[in-house]
Amino acid sequence: MPLGYIAVELGWAVREVGRQPWLVYGLLRTSEGASQLPASSVIFSMAGYTLLYIVLAIAFFIFARRWLHKGPDLMLEPPPTPHAWQDRRI
33/28 Cα distance (integer angstroms): 7
The answer to whether residue 78 sits within a structural domain is no
Which residues, including other chains, have CB under 8 Å from residue 20's CB and lie 6 or more apart? 30, 33
Domain that holds residue 16: 3-70
Residues of the chain with pLDDT under 50: none
How many Cβ atoms from other residues are within 10 Å of residue 83's Cβ?
Answer: 7
Query: What integer pLDDT is reported at residue 89 of this predicted model?
Result: 57
In a domain, 29, yes or no: yes
* Residue 61 within any structural domain of the chain: yes
Looking at the domain assignment, is residue 90 inside a domain?
Answer: no
Per-residue pLDDT tens over the stretch 73-88: 888 888 777 765 555 5
Domain-located, residue 88 = no
Split into its structural domains, the chain has a count of 1
11 in any annotated domain: yes
Position 82 in a domain: no
